[in-house]
Every structure is written in C-alpha cells, then in structure tokens.
Structure 1
Amino acid sequence: MPKQRITKEMVVDAAFEIARNSGMEQVMVKNIADKIGCSVQPIYSYCKNMNGLRQDVIEQVNHFIQEYVVSHINKDDLFHSTGKSYIRLAQEEPHLFRIFILHQRVGISSLNDLYQSEANPHTAEVIAKELNISVERAKQLHLNMLIYTIGIGTIFSVTTPGISTDEIYTQQEVAYEAFLKQALRNEE
C-alpha cells in the first residue's frame, strides 16, 4: 500500500477541525497526526513552530467567520442581523468564536484602530443613511455595538448549559436602543 502524501493544507485543515471541536489549546502535533492518521514526522516538516501553524488556523477561522456572517445576514436589516449572526456563531461555533475574539491583534493602540481593522469601512455609511445620522455618529454606534456584541457573545460562548438566545437577543436590542438614543442625542 503506497504511503499517503501529507500536504500542508491537510495539516492546517486538521488543525482547524481540532480547534473547531476542542479549542486552540488542543492543536498539538500529536493530535494533528492522529486526526490525519500519520506519524508526527510529516507534521513537523510543515510546522517549524506551532505559532506559525496557529496563525494559519487563525486565518482559516477568520475566513470561516466572514463566510458564516455573510451567509446569515439579512441584507434588508444589515446592522441588526450582523449582530445577531455573531451571537448565533457564538452559540453554534463557540471554540471558533473564542479563537476569533481572543487572538492577538498587532498594531492596535486605540478603539479607533480596532474599529478600522475589524469593521467594514462602508458599514458606518450604511448605518448613517439608514438612521439619518452623521457618519461619525454611525461609527460610534457601530463601535459601541461591536464592543457590546463581542462581550455578550463571549459570555454566551462560555456559559453552560447556556443562556437562551432570546435573552441574549433581547439584551442586545436593549443595548442598541441605549446606544442609538445616545447617538441621536449627540446628533442634536
């Protein structure tokens, strides 16, 4: 029987599946080799260090999440449905959500830096137009909701047996109303 050719893609895919099912802390050479069904040697040939492999997994996680969110948003209610899609992600893919939220972000020294690196640059324009507020107020509203959704999503992803999605969505809506009220007040 010929030997199976192990590729870097197979290694990264196996590491991603391990991270998805058990968390990034379980992404270890032995676990990857067991998942692929090979010895650890081919894994070491692609993984000069585990940090590089973990970065590849984070990139795959980010790509997965982008596709997930796009597939779960309602284009007629972009702002609300995006926040809800992140909450759904936290429920359905808690390990991937935590990896996405907790991975190191380099070059971030302010909330504005974070917003610039994480948010779609056109989202604030869409929100401004939809709510008839300035783009600057829309950015602040969006940033507030990003921070809130990340926080409540993180809580949601680490609770057992789990908070109901209805309770989470209600709380998210309460936060939105408060942040919107503040944005409208500041607009005057």
Structure 2
Amino acid sequence: MNISFDITTPGITGLRGPSGCGKTSLLRGIAGLHHFPQGYCRLGDEIWQDDTSFLPPWKRPIGYVPQDGGLFVHLNVKKNLLFGMRFIDQKERFLHEIVDALHLGPLLERRTHALSGGERQRVAIGRALLTHPKLLLMDEPLSALDFDIKSDIIFYIKEFLEKYKILTLYVSHDAEELRMVATQVLDWHAIQKNST
C-alpha cells in the first residue's frame, strides 16, 4: 500500500473507498496495531512512527472503533464502557451523557455475547468516546444500524466531537453517511493516485 495524506482541517474527516482497498489497514497503522516498514505518522508535533521510532499503541492518545466493535467478552457492557474512562476526570457526567445518547441504558448489565451487531457497535463507539482521545479512528462504525438510529447517533457523535474538538478519521463506503457526519471527505483513489 502506497498512500500519503495530511489532515490540516479540524473536525471529522471522512475517508471513502470500496471494500478491500486498505482503509482498515491504514487505520490499524495509525493506531499502531500494524507496523508498516516505511511508514510515517505524526499527530501535531508528536511523531508516532518514522524511520527510527515507533510509538506502541497503548501510548498513542487514540480512540479506536473497529468494524467488529472489539469489545472485551469477559466484561459486561457497563464494564466495557468504564474501561475507557480510567484516565479521565468527570467520569459520571460523561458516562451518563453517552449512555443516554447512544441508548445504552437497557444494555448496561448485558454480556457482550448477548448483543446484536448494532448494539456492539454502539457500545464500542461509547467506549472510544469515553477515553477523550486526541484522535478518534472509526472504521465503518454504523454499518449494522438501521437508518433511524443511525441518524440520531450521527447527530450526537458530530455534536460531541465538535464540542470537545476531537480530531476524527471516519471510514465508510457509504457516501450519504459521510455527507451527514464529515467536515471534509477524502476519496481513497484520489489520495492513492496523489501518493504515487
């Protein structure tokens, strides 16, 4: 994969491209979950990867919402959410705010294996937001939701990210979803062409 881009505009940057083109691999590289041999990644003045250094994922101030949710199967929903809150202040207020917005109240005591795909995605989004990351990476985060719930959650996510000024890279193949949520949209083929 040969791709390069800079995000200089604050807000939510959408990345659109067909399935299988490498969008997930790109997010995993930014998160530090995949080490590209000649990769370069920087957030502000902090270099996460270059020719001589590689910052491990647990030291990168990111929230990551993978396609499968990535929930801890040995924890219930509430404990999955609380896991992301270990290092932030004002925990209770943020927990209640996000639980209400993502309609998670009835799920808090449920085990993750008993959740539907859409419920798992909502929990994963909540957990990532509760870390208060400097960079939020979202990989097809709403693909399992019906349109009505998706519209409500998109409105909340956008409002929350703008309120707390969290830089976000939002990956989707759904042009309408990106139109609703993103401040700007990058096309995978265009940035790949510009990188060659």
TM over 0.5: no
Give the number of the structure whose residues are more often helix, by fraction.
Answer: 1
TM-score where L is the length of structure 1:
0.26
User: Which has the bigger relative contact order, CA under 8 A and spacing at least 6?
Assistant: 2
Structure possessing the higher radius of gyration over alpha carbons: 1
Give the number of the structure whose residues are more often strand, by fraction.
Answer: 2
TM-score where L is the length of structure 2:
0.26
